[in-house]
Structure 1
Amino acid sequence: MILRTGSALLALVIATPALAQVPSQGDLADLVRAQAAEIATLKARLDRLEGQQAVASAAAVPAERQPAAPQVAQNTPVTPPEARRTIPFAPQLVPPGPAERSVAQADAARTNPSGLTTEWGSGLPVFHSADGVYTFKPRGRILADVSTSFGSKSDTRNLTTTGMRALRLGLEGGVGTHFFYQMEADFSENEVDVVTAFMGWRDRIRPGLDYDVRAGHLFNDRGFEGSTGSDSTPFLERTTVATAIIPQRGFYGIGIMPRLFWKTGHASLTVTGDRVDGTQAVSDGRTVLGRVHWNPIKTADTVLHLGAWGFDESLSPAATVLTRNTVIGGRFNGGLRVSTGPLLGGTGTTGYGVEFGGYRGPVWLMAEAGRRNARLDAGRPDFTSKAWSLSGGFFITGDLPPYNPRLGSFGQPKVLRPTFDGGPGAIELTARYENLDYTDLVTGGEGWAGTLGVNWYLNSFTRFQLNAIHWNTDNRAGAVTGSDDGETVSARVAVTF
């Protein structure tokens, strides 16, 4: 710095002989200002170098000597503090993939100061291009079940079966902060079935208010468990509200879904046709579905959840059969169902439901109820279905329930002490009562089930589940009619990437 200042002074002397002996006050002031600017620049560079050395030193400290941060995924890029303050995401969940990130999370992944191009969060890596613009992640889930039923008055229901609840492969990714995509195919029935397949755009309206818009083959946003993925449900099968109060087209449809997010909730509106098929000779059905959830109480260990949803569906001329056979005691026993009996001549359906629950510490509770009116032709009155459920759980290991306040559903947990690191994992005890009523039809049945379960999460993406179910059915049509009850014991091993 001294040499640089001296050079400036010598140049001034050479250029202006009159000032060679006595520089003016103005010239000296200019030199002082130039010197101060150089000092400020050098200080800024020194601060940056010291910051990088501090990060490198922290990374070199053994894990046992670093401050504990059990709710942050290993090797996940550090999010800047200003971005963390704006991310409405629960720390007990694994970081979301590229297609489910908020605007702040997507932007933080691009501007991550660590310079990493790969991050590991839940089983498979997330790849980033060197400039942070492109993001890509493989996806997959393997859910293998075994089930045995006994105690029924009919041997056709006393079965022991195995099955793949899900066997999926897929991918997701993004370009920049705003564009994202996802696709998955399922092979669980030994055939290819396209499930989620969409592209989308996300942005911010103002601080604390974000939105995204998805277009493609979309999963319903409908109810608490109806909006929870099959790899995240607290029981082996969703409640009767999720499986019975549903559009006739099922859980998926091709269309568009705008979603709005604020700090304490979200709202969505979905307009779709039929699910992926090869039928183009007749018009698709049309389904309009909306949902809103709100967390009026939301603290570090306490959440209150309120939600409501509804849909209206106009059936395709090629899909007028409304017969339902709904799971009540386990998915993999085809003889154990609550049935409507044959029901033809449907023109549309309308359904709606409410959600109420939340968690405090390791304990969670959720109540759901729904009603579905099926419109029939030839002037016949609507057929009404009714269902409700009450579910709860307790993590005896002290982990928080994997509740996602952004979506109002369950997600993949971030286990505090994974078994692969020498810990016990996360152990959860669960209980549920559910009821289903199709008796508005002369041929319609009814049923209920009580379930006790235990979930053992080895880490954030591997778990074992065990459910013991006592069920009761009273069908008026089908192979087994009249009152019947029994037990089903089901188990699952699940890996989600």
Structure 2
Amino acid sequence: MTRTLFTSAAFLALVSGNPALAQTPTRDDLADLVRAQAAEIASLRQRVDALEAERHTVAAATAPQQAAPVQVASAEPVKTAPPVAVSTLPYAPQLLPPGPAERDIERVRAAAVAATGSSTEWGQGLPVFHSADGMFSFKPRGRIITDVSTTSGSKYDGRNLTTTGMRALRLGLEGTVGTHFFYQLESDFSENEVDIVTAFMGWRNRISPGMDYDVRVGHLFNDRSFEGSTGSDSTPFLERTVVATAIIPQRAFYGLGVMPRLFWKTGHASLTVTGDRIDGDQTSSDNRTVLGRVHWNPVKTDGQVLHLGIWGFDEHLNPGKNALTRSTVIGGRFNGNLRLSTGTLIGGTGTTGYGVELGGYTGPLWVMAEAGERHARLDGGRPDFVTQAWSVSGGFFLTGDLPPYNPRLGSFGQPKVKRPIFEGGPGAIELTARYENLEFKDIATPAQGWAATLGVNWYLNSFTRFQVNAVHWNTENTAGAYTGKDDGETLSARVGVTF
């Protein structure tokens, strides 16, 4: 009874609330009602179609664009190339329609890209910014390398020092415009000085499949010898070999000029023409340096590489910029009294140097041998000042990681750590050893020395490392405060981060 009364009341309320049903409907009334319902269904279908179109538009706007990895030209370990527009890719990524829970997130991302015209990703600790169309990219750069060193055993108390220093404290940037134009700028603030180091712009392009080139103009890092072409953040020891530090133009590691480079699948060649380093002296002509290098990998597989290299340079020195004085590191950078020195030597007219490289790796084991010679020409008919250097280095990764060899540039770069500690792994652990020999001769104040180094490197990930080097050194100078034969030990440690 109660159910009947409730149903009757609901029916009366429905009829009284709808004038069309308050009276007995005619056939025309029913036809009008059917037409109204059909129009409402058509309107609802249009709204559903519009929502589906909006969903597909949002999915396409948030689809990730792929970038082709190309090395930005520099001495520092290997870098990523600018993003390429999706329309230039040989295929488009497959996209799955987003589920209901993903739609709001996609709309937020699409709105952010539409509002800013850019996107951001993270690589090696710093953000990489890309424009929405893939035309522009920008990445900050940074390098922090801190050393501590202690020396003992020398017969001179002045050489038995404990010191600290910043091997590098760099800030910079790199970027691309389109697929061809790129640029890079870095300043170094270490050792209480502000120094412009890398600063260039460049153009790159492909000649044919497997062969490309780039041309860089600006303040350029030398492409000279294996470790001389390796950045300070990528060397397997705390200091480069004596081949890299002594068989070198008088202007040292940098010069302002132009460097075209050609790359193929198994090697590269470069030619550099520069003046002096960046400075504020325009009262006399720059010195001129021409430098070339070629490296070749006759064996190149996933687990093995054979490296061959040759290089050479010729330098013209102008009056007023012709000092040839040398004071070369032999047992540690941050002991200023531990050097091989020539004493004051002026009157140079030019230098010519050349060298060879032979090495490679198989699995976690690598070996590299280098040798070089430099002739410095003196005025007044004096004989050339000759520098000779050679070294043999090697390393073994206990964790099975591959050596960080860069086959594009023929140098070391940042390692690719298989199991970083930040992901629960041990990182990469490397044992290293080196012997090197250096001699200054055919001058009134000759010098010679050698050093043997044992080291351990622990790479926490691809851009963070701890290094320890134990060096036994031997020197024989005939100029300066520390003359005669001397030997001792230097223990050095480093922590380094590269972004």
Residue matched to 1:320: 322
Residues 421-480 of structure 1: CA deviation (Å, up to 9, x unaligned): 111001000000000011322301000000000000001111100000000001111111
C-alpha deviations, 1:194-214, integer Å up to 9, x for none?
000000000011111100000
Alignment-derived partner of residue 458 in structure 1: 460
Amino acid at match of 1:405: P
Say which SS state the counterpart of residue 226 (structure 1) adopts.
helix
1:118 lines up with 2:101 in the alignment: no
Matched, 1:256 2:252: no
1: CA distance, partners of 2:364 / 2:416:
13
Where 1:189 maps in the other structure, the secondary structure is: helix
Asked if structure 1 preserves the Cα contact closer than 8 Å seen for 2:450 and 2:474, the reply is yes
**CA deviation vs aligned residue, 1:297-328 (integer Å, no higher than 9, x gap):** 00011000000000000013221110101000
The answer on whether the counterparts of 2:329 and 2:338 sit within 8 Å (CA) in structure 1 is yes
For structure 2, the 5+ residue unaligned runs are 1-55, 94-112
Please state whether the residue corresponding to 1:117 is helix, strand or coil.
strand
The equivalent of 2:341 in structure 1 is 339
Output the CA distance in 1 between the equivalents of 2:260 and 2:441: 36
Q: 1:78 to 1:471 in 2, by over 3 A?
A: farther
Aligned to 1:155: 157
In 1, distance between residues paired with 2:79 and 2:86? 11
For residue 299 of structure 1, the aligned residue among 298, 301, 320 is 301
Which residue, 452, 470, 473 being the options, matches 1:471?
Answer: 473
* Structure 2 counterpart of 1:96: 79
Mapped to 2, the partners of 1:94 and 1:484 lie a distance apart of 36
- Measure the CA separation in 1 of the matches of 2:183 and 2:71: 21
TM-score (norm 1): 0.80
What is the deviation of 1:94? 8.6
Q: 1:109 to 1:298 in 2, by over 3 A?
A: farther
RMSD: 2.4
2:193 corresponds, among 184, 191, 194, to: 191
**Residue identity matched to 1:279:** D
Q: What SS does the aligned partner of 1:236 have?
A: coil
Q: Conserved in 1, the CA contact under 8 Å of 2:71 and 2:79?
A: no
| Aligned residue in 1 for 2:223 | 221
The within-5 A match list for 1:141-180 is 141-180=143-182
Aligned residues: 415
Q: Provide the residue aligned with 2:21 in structure 1.
A: none
Equivalent position SS for 1:156: helix
Q: What is the CA deviation profile of residues 234-275 of structure 1, one whole-angstrom value per residue up to 9, with x for unaligned ones?
A: 000000000000000010000000000000000000000000
2:451 maps to what in 1? 449
CA distance in 1, matches of 2:369, 2:333: 22
Partner of 1:492: 494
Q: How much has 1:337 moved relative to structure 2?
A: 0.3
Distance (Å, rounded) in 1 between the aligned partners of 2:282 and 2:239: 33
- Is contact 2:200–2:219 with CA below 8 Å preserved after alignment? yes
Larger Rg: 2
Shift of 1:121: 2.4
Give the Å deviation of 1:110. Answer: 9.1
Q: How high is the sequence identity, in percent, across the aligned residues?
A: 75
2:136 is the alignment partner of 1:134:
yes
Alignment check: 8 A CA contact 2:307 2:359 kept: yes
Quote the Cα distance in structure 2 between the aligned partners of 1:392 and 1:294: 19
| Alpha-carbon distance change, 255 to 151 in structure 1, aligned in 2, over 3 angstroms | same
1:231-250 counterparts in 2 under 5 A? Answer: 231-250=233-252
> How far, CA to CA, are the matches of 2:314 and 2:276 in structure 1?
13
Aligned to 1:381: 383
For 1:121-145, what per-residue CA distance to the aligned partner results, in whole angstroms no more than 9, with x for missing partners? 2121211100000000000100000
Query: SS of the residue aligned with 2:382?
Result: coil
Query: Retained in 2: the 8 A contact 1:88–1:263?
Result: no
* Residues 211 and 264, structure 2, Cα contact 8 Å, conserved in 1: yes
Out of 338, 350, 353, the position equivalent to 1:351 is 353
Deviation at 1:96, TM superposition (A): 1.4
Q: 1:110, 1:133 within 8 Å by CA — same for their partners in 2?
A: no
Residue identity opposite 2:380 in structure 1: A
In structure 1, distance between residues paired with 2:257 and 2:71: 27
> Do the aligned residues in 2 keep the contact of 1:368 with 1:390 (CA within 8 Å)?
yes
User: For the structure 1 residues 108 and 430, does the alpha-carbon distance in structure 2 shift closer, same or farther, using more than 3 Å as the test?
Assistant: farther
| Match of residue 432 from structure 1 | 434
Distance 1:302 1:134, change over 3 A: same
Give the direction of change, closer, same or farther, for the CA distance of 1:88–1:154 in structure 2 (3 Å limit).
Answer: closer
Q: Conserved in 2, the CA contact under 8 Å of 1:283 and 1:317?
A: no
| Code of the aligned partner of 2:370 | E
Which residue identity is paired with 2:332? Answer: G
CA distance in 2, matches of 1:314, 1:147: 37
Specify the SS of the correspondent of 2:438: strand
Note the C-alpha offset of 1:284: 0.3
What is the deviation of 1:175?
0.2
Report what 1:16 is aligned to.
Answer: none
1:285 aligns to what? Answer: 287
CA distance in 2, matches of 1:187, 1:110: 43
Deviation at 1:496, TM superposition (A): 0.4
1:94/1:460 contact within 8 Å kept: no
1:106 to 1:384, Cα distance in 2 relative to 1, 3 A: farther
Worse overlay, 111-120 or 271-280: 111-120
Structure 1's 292 and 488: CA in aligned 2 closer, same or farther, altered over 3 A?
Answer: same
Q: Is the 8 A contact 2:242 2:390 kept in 1?
A: yes
Cα distance change on mapping 1:150 and 1:78 into 2, 3 Å: farther
The one-letter code sitting in structure 2 at the alignment partner of 1:453 is G
Residue 109 of structure 2 aligns with which residue?
none
SS at match of 1:243: helix
Residues 323 and 344 in structure 1, CA contact (< 8 A), matched pair in contact too: yes
Q: What is the distance in 2 between the residues matched to 1:117 and 1:265?
A: 34
Which of 411, 421, 428 lines up with 1:409 in the alignment? 411
Residue 270 of structure 2 corresponds to: 268
- CA displacement at 1:78 relative to structure 2: 8.0
TM-score for the superposition, normalised by structure 2: 0.79
- CA–CA separation in structure 1 for the residues paired with 2:154 and 2:434: 21
For 2:134, give the aligned amino acid.
G
Q: Using a 3 Å threshold, how does the CA distance of structure 1 residues 317 and 88 change in structure 2: closer, same or farther? A: closer
Task: Return the alpha-carbon distance in structure 1 between the equivalents of residues 65 and 452 of structure 2.
Answer: 44
What residue in structure 1 maps to residue 369 of structure 2? 367
**CA distance in 2: counterparts of 1:392 and 1:225, whole angstroms:** 12
Does structure 2 conserve the Cα–Cα contact (< 8 Å) formed by 1:241 and 1:387? Answer: yes
Looking at structure 1, the residues matched to 415 and 122 of structure 2 have their Cα atoms a distance apart, in angstroms, of 15
| Equivalent pair of 1:259/1:267 in contact (CA under 8 Å) | yes
**1:413: Cα distance to partner?**
1.1
